Amino acid sequence: MARVVMTLRIMPDEVEVDLDDLLERIKTVIPEGTDLGATETQSIAFGLTALRMNLSRDESMGGTDDIEAAITAVEGVSQVEVERVSRM
């Protein structure tokens, strides 16, 4: 069975959000069986910075809906955007 690799962009709900703290809280809600890869920050505009993260999981676990829902529920997250999904 193949693995699915995805890149997500997480937008904070305001400019002043501590992205390191937000990342730590996101790590606690990522569904079991999903592996966190590289993370980085990305400047958007007007002082707003987003988190980008790579995740991977077995393709039998389905799409990204459960991951998106879990991350969106974290306080301080405004939106989650799936930038890329591919099989490996």
Number of domains forming the structure of the chain: 1
What's the pLDDT band for 1 if we cut at 50, 70, 90? confident
- Domain with 52 in it: 3-87
> Running DSSP on this structure, what letter comes out for residue 76?
T
Helix (H) or strand (E) holding 70: helix 65-72
| CA-closest candidate to residue 13, choices 87, 74, 81 | 74
Supply the CATH number for residue 79's domain. 3.30.70.60
What's the pLDDT band for 82 if we cut at 50, 70, 90? very high
| Tokens linked to 33 | 């069986």
Q: DSSP string covering 1-61, please? A: --EEEEEEEEEESSTT--HHHHHHHHHHHSPTT-EEEEEEEEEEETTEEEEEEEEEEEGGG
Per-residue model confidence as pLDDT tens digits over 27-76? 999 999 999 999 999 999 888 999 999 999 999 998 899 999 999 999 99
